[in-house]
Amino acid sequence: MNLKEFGGEKAIVNFLKKEFNSKNKKIAKGIGDDAAVIKRGNTFQVITTDMLCEDDHFSLNYFTPFQIGYKSMEASISDVYAMGATPTYTLVSVSFKKNTSVEFFKEFFRGIKKSALRHNVQVIGGDTTHGKKMSVSITVIGETKKPVYRRGAKENDLVFVTGKLGGSTAGLECFRKKIEGNEKVKQKHTNPNAQKSLAKKVAEIATALEDVSDGLATEIKNICAESKCGAIINAEQVPISMETKKAAKALKKNALDFALFGGEDFELVFTVHLKNRKKAKKIATQVGTIIKEKKVYLKTNSKTAELKKTGFDHFK
Ligand SMILES: [Mg+2]
């Protein structure tokens, strides 16, 4: 049996949870959230790692080395914000192909540095090696007094997302189908930004929190699974930019599909208690409601149907 038949990422994570999650009280959260959380006195240390592989997460046909470095960092840092934490230190591991030029190598680390400076994160180590293809693995450490997990959503909480969704996938599809123009969505794919300025405000009011790396459908299902609840997502309310709609039209695809089943937008999806609705509205868009029944529904103008499909899965 291969990993696809095993059940994809969900089955892999469930297997690893059973294998490694322990009852050690210092571990506030092991496998199963955006990052692991370790208790250190009266603060919490947050640790996450993320891996990007050539021709899977990025292609040298349309990524500059600077962009590979920058995006890798932003992707990992996004997971720290998704725990309500502030990123502090990072370790950068990368395999370069043997014929890699010094210019390429330096540009890659210039991208790393740009992101590190943006988030006030210190690069403190890592590893370099060579491989048949390039791959990047970034570990980021952060800290917080109050972590926000995926597991805190309650019935009648409201679901919000920051920014707009689907842009990164629209950009990727434009690159793949060699569609001219559409620079803004292409940039969303090559130069995404983790939600630095909003992260703190979101963490203050969120009952559950996650970043949008695998599409809204997958993320909301993760929150519901961990919180033991369900949700109704209102299709009309999912925020999608004009640029993404335009690109979807050129691609003859549905922009809503990019938002629900795409990925790598690195926005934040979170739930809040009704009393914080006003505060949430100032920084994000309401897209749904948490319900008791453990199912996720998509409500459109014509009908409400269970949202069975999920977003991007590397093993499916
Ligand atoms: Mg995440």
pLDDT tens-digit map of 116-155: 999 999 999 999 999 999 999 999 999 999 999 999 999 9
31 CA distance to ligand 1 middle (Å): 12
Contact in structure between 100 and 220 (CB atoms under 8 Å):
no
83 CA distance to ligand 1 middle (Å): 9
66 CA distance to ligand 1 middle (Å): 22
Q: How would residue 9 be classed by pLDDT, with cut points 50, 70 and 90?
A: confident
| Mean pLDDT along residues 286-308 | 95
What tokens does 311 get?
């977003």
Q: Could you read off the pLDDT of 80-122 as tens digits, one per residue?
A: 999 999 999 999 999 999 999 999 999 999 999 999 999 999 9
Residue 1: predicted pLDDT:
87
Residue 295: predicted pLDDT:
96
Residue 3: predicted pLDDT:
86
pTM here?
0.95
Q: How would residue 4 be classed by pLDDT, with cut points 50, 70 and 90?
A: confident
Looking up tokens 């999608």, which residue turns up? 240
32 CA distance to ligand 1 middle (Å): 10
Query: What residue spans of 164-251 are helical by DSSP H?
Result: 167-176, 183-190, 196-205, 216-227, 242-251
**pLDDT of 194 above 70:** yes
What tokens does 4 get?
């696809």
100 CA distance to ligand 1 middle (Å): 30
50 CA distance to ligand 1 middle (Å): 9
Residue 233: predicted pLDDT:
97
- With both helix axes pointing from N to C terminus, report the angle between 183-190 and 242-251 in degrees, rounded to the nearest 10: 100
**pLDDT of 293 above 80:** yes
Q: Could you read off the pLDDT of 55-79 as tens digits, one per residue?
A: 999 999 999 999 999 999 999 999 9
**pLDDT of 314 above 70:** no
Q: How would residue 23 be classed by pLDDT, with cut points 50, 70 and 90?
A: confident
**pLDDT of 8 above 90:** no
Instruction: Give the distance, in angstroms, between the CA of residue 97 and the centroid of all CA atoms in the same chain.
Output: 27
Q: Which residues surround ligand 1, an ion (CB under 5 A)?
A: 34, 79, 211, 213
Average pLDDT, the chain: 95
DSSP string, 169-185: HHHHHHHHTT----HHH
Query: What residue spans of the chain are helical by DSSP H?
Result: 3-6, 8-20, 65-81, 102-119, 167-176, 183-190, 196-205, 216-227, 242-251, 255-261, 277-283
Residue 310: predicted pLDDT:
73
What tokens does 32 get?
């199963």
- Residue 190: count of CB within 10 angstroms of its CB: 19
**pLDDT of 316 above 80:** no
